[in-house]
Chains A and B, each alone.
With several copies, the nearest count.
Chain A
Amino acid sequence: MAKIVPLAEAIGDNVRDGDTVAMEGFTHLIPYAAGHEVIRQGRKDLFLVRMTPDILYDQLIGVGAARGMKFSWGGNPGVGSLHRFRDAVENQWPRPLEIEEHSHAAMANAYEAGAANLPFAMLRGYIGADLPKVNPNIKSVTCPFTSEVLAAVPAIRPDVTIIHAQRADRKGNVLLEGIVGVQKEAVLAAKRSIVTVEEIVDELAPPSPNSVVLPSWAVTAVSHVPGGAFPSYAHGYYPRSNAFYIGWDEIARDRDSFTAWIKENVLDAGPEDFARHAGKTPAKAA
């Protein structure tokens, strides 16, 4: 059964130095508040996993919390580069970053295989592409019926997965809605999981019997952090701050302005500071 605890406690209990950590969210529901708490608690040597490392992972890389990253697209969506990520790969600042690079399809399948307790995932993928030449974790498997050769990648099994969701009930059952990405798979593939939520309610009340729900017994900890996905968004609560994503380009381009931003907005701040983003501009689909 999930424990409902403050965010600092959830991170403190479940994220350890050296862990393989997936903070997932495909544009939507990115767990920014939880990621900032990881930075504040000074976790180090993390191996980060995420399909689309965006600003949050740029921040974790920029403060030197990560020893490596497994990913499939590392950019600022619609804006351009992740400057801290580039600085780490191109100049080893603030430390070298080991990378394991895949395609989206391979990562999505690898999470799926992790959730399904399979050792690997197979896909019709990487045909004619160069990634298999530089990534030894891309191999192949042969169909025992047709002899067709398919790409194979290891299942993703994080030590801990962290996601943000719309709401939980008081037992710790969690509802996700909208662009749900790979979050369910990432939680089920992990040894431990933390979910931050916009609201904790008496009745979960999923709108459909087939809604995306994570039962309490499949989650380790739930924390109430309104606004915790900002500048990403929470469908039904608040919209994405495209302006923040555009503005980040300038902040992250320079090591000093980045470091100053982290001090002011992460190190000297707390999860409660995210609350001002919650519901400030109601989402259309609320």
Chain B
Amino acid sequence: MTDFTPTEMMTIAASRELSNDDVCFVGIGAPSAACNVARLTHAPDITLIYESGTVGTKPDVLPLSIGDGELCDTALFTVSVPEMFRYWLQGGRITTGFLGGAQIDRFANLNTTVVGPYDHPKVRLPGGGGAPEIASNCGRIFITMALSKRGFVEKLPFITSMGHGEGGDHRERLGMKTKGPTRVITDLCILEPDAVSKELTVVSIHHGVTREQIVENCGWPIKFASRVIETPVPSEVELATLRDINARTRKAHQASREAA
């Protein structure tokens, strides 16, 4: 299938990275869609956890918030938020965490806190929430963000959650044993940190996208790996599954709007 939107490609590319053995800490938006597409296609036994405390959820529609009733109704069990962060996240039980943000730098550090100085911000963003500890305690991190000059910046005004810090072995030097961001999945391409420098590097370009588009939409001089492939286009099943769950979600949210 070549009739898909860039966001659909991003979501489906993310879903492919997940397997039955994954225990995922899911965020709202693209990660939630990606995880549930994986669950409904190639990874039926994947475990999805939302930070509201719901473990092993199988939502029929995507939640608007991290704590929608649907998540609890379909969960294997639900724990308190302190337990979620202590036993499950800090306990090292999560294989894959998803993050996103307003801004990212070349070492996959993220900012969701402020634009401008912290004490006198130009734009006050929502803040980090679970991100600082998701970034350090999950086995690996996937980041989903649309590629844009505003989002992919040379220097972050604030590091909300650390990716590869200043690059190289910075994580190890700070005592972290987890991998950190291993994939950044955008609407145009997929990036991976370079094995040594940890600088994000294009490894896969989505169908129909040019290198020029990627360069133009990145705030730093973006590097390409020596071998760059084309991201396989969404299969019919992937696309149908994503569109179905999005349609069910729209319908459910509309119903709740009418009932309100």
Contact = CB atoms under 8 A, between A and B. Distances in A.
* A–B direct touch in complex (beta carbons closer than 8 A): yes
Interface of A: 1, 26-28, 51-52, 71-75, 77-79, 81-82, 85-86, 89-90, 101, 103-105, 108-109, 111-112, 115-118, 123-131, 134, 148, 173, 178-182, 184-185, 188, 204, 206, 209-213, 215, 217-218, 231, 233, 235, 239-247, 280-281, 283-285
Given A27-B67, A130-B113, A209-B72, A104 B257 contact: no
Contacts of B176: 127-128
Interface of A is mostly: loop
Given A74-B124, A123-B133, A148-B175, 18 more contacts: A27-B67, A72-B129, A78-B29, A85-B124, A104-B85, A105-B130, A108-B85, A116-B86, A127-B174, A128-B135, A180-B78, A180-B80, A215-B47, A218-B93, A231-B260, A239-B69, A241-B259, A284-B73
Interface of B: 21, 23, 28-29, 45, 47, 51-56, 63-73, 75-82, 84-87, 89-93, 109, 113, 118-119, 121-133, 135-137, 158-162, 165, 170-171, 174-176, 253, 256-260
Contact of A179 (B64, B72, B130, B175): B72
CB-based closest 7 A-B pairs: A27-B67, A128-B162, A243-B257, A75-B126, A73-B129, A77-B65, A78-B64
Given A74-B126, A235-B72, A128 B159 contact: yes
Given A26-B53, A130-B158, A239-B69, A89 B121 contact: yes
Contacts of B45: 1
Contacts of B55: 213, 215
Contact of B82 (A86, A129, A182, A244): A182
A280 B259 contact: yes
Contact of B53 (A79, A105, A181, A285): A181
Given A77-B66, A210-B79, A103 B128 contact: yes
A179 B133 contact: no
B132 A103 contact: yes
B82 A126 contact: no
Given A77-B64, A105-B90, A125-B136, A26 B175 contact: no
B130 to A, nearest CB: 4
B133 A285 contact: no
B165 A242 contact: no
Nearest to B87: A115
B65 A245 contact: yes
Contact of B132 (A125, A181, A204, A209): A125
